[in-house]
Amino acid sequence: MSDDVKHVSDQSEIRLILIGNKGVGKSSLGNSLLQRKAFTASNPVDIQGSTQWSDGTKLVIGDTPGIADPEIPTIKTFEELTRRVELLHPGPHAFLVVFTIDRFTQEDVDAIKYIKYWFGEDITRYLAVVFTGKGSLDYHGQTLDTHIQKSREELQSLIRECNGRVTAINNRDKHPGIGGVFDLVQQTKKDNKDVFYNQQMYTNAVKERQGKPNLMDTDHFS
């Protein structure tokens, strides 16, 4: 059996990992998608939640700690991210990269660099961008497209690399707009012919990373 065949999804399970900086709404997004309070801010034990849809599909979501945390060295956070990805065995169909619509900071630019460094440049094939705080977009009468056009080049370039997989959600709304997120997930699966991010890809990323300067060394921190 070839690797590709082995790593094609079982259609009845969708595995997602939430990733992004601290406080951007990762856990809230997970709760919106699972339609229950599976993740809480205070309890780091709640790292995975799942639900079974009426059509038999099982949705499994892995929550993660924020990337830019002054209290925790970046490398430690990424080691934990690896563990969370491994817990989503045999591998996530998509990494939902979460940003808040209200700000895109240097920390977000750095987070994108770290994600590519740690999981490999090819990780963009599995990334889908989700903005939380869609309410403020609606408040200012803006569309997501116009917001993106006016945003920093690094964000625009990430979205291009993700093949335009981007949406916005309002986790505080009774109807947050989760359909848009599931459309993105389906798009990600389709773009990858149902092959998910697997252990072999991570092993390749580790090799790739070993040939590069250590980005998580504080000397290289921009």
Ligand X SMILES: Nc1nc2c(ncn2[C@@H]2O[C@H](COP(=O)(O)OP(=O)(O)OP(=O)(O)O)[C@@H](O)[C@H]2O)c(=O)[nH]1
Q: In angstroms, rounded to a whole number, what is the distance separating the alpha carbons of residues 197 and 132?
A: 24
Among 7, 15, 19, 26, binds ligand X (CB under 6 A): 26
Told to check if 27 binds Mg ion by CB under 5 A, we report yes
Told to check if 100 binds Mg ion by CB under 5 A, we report no
Among 8, 9, 13, 22, binds ligand X (CB under 6 A): 22
Among Mg ion, ligand X, none, partner that 135 touches (CB below 5 to 8 angstroms by kind): ligand X
Among 14, 16, 19, 25, binds ligand X (CB under 6 A): 25
Told to check if 133 binds ligand X by CB under 6 A, we report yes
Among Mg ion, ligand X, none, partner that 22 touches (CB below 5 to 8 angstroms by kind): ligand X
Q: In angstroms, rounded to a whole number, what is the distance separating the alpha carbons of residues 208 and 218?
A: 20
> Quick count: other Cβ atoms within 10 Å of Cβ 188?
24
Told to check if 24 binds ligand X by CB under 6 A, we report yes
Which CB atom, from 185 or from 201, has the smaller least distance to ligand X?
Answer: 185
Asked if 170 contacts 135 with a C-beta cutoff of 8 angstroms, the reply is yes
Q: In angstroms, rounded to a whole number, what is the distance separating the alpha carbons of residues 34 and 60?
A: 9
In sequence order, what E strands does the chain have? 13-20, 48-52, 58-62, 94-100, 127-132, 166-169
Residue type, 134: K
| Residues contributing to the site for ligand X (CB under 6 A) | 22-28, 41, 66, 132-133, 135, 169-172
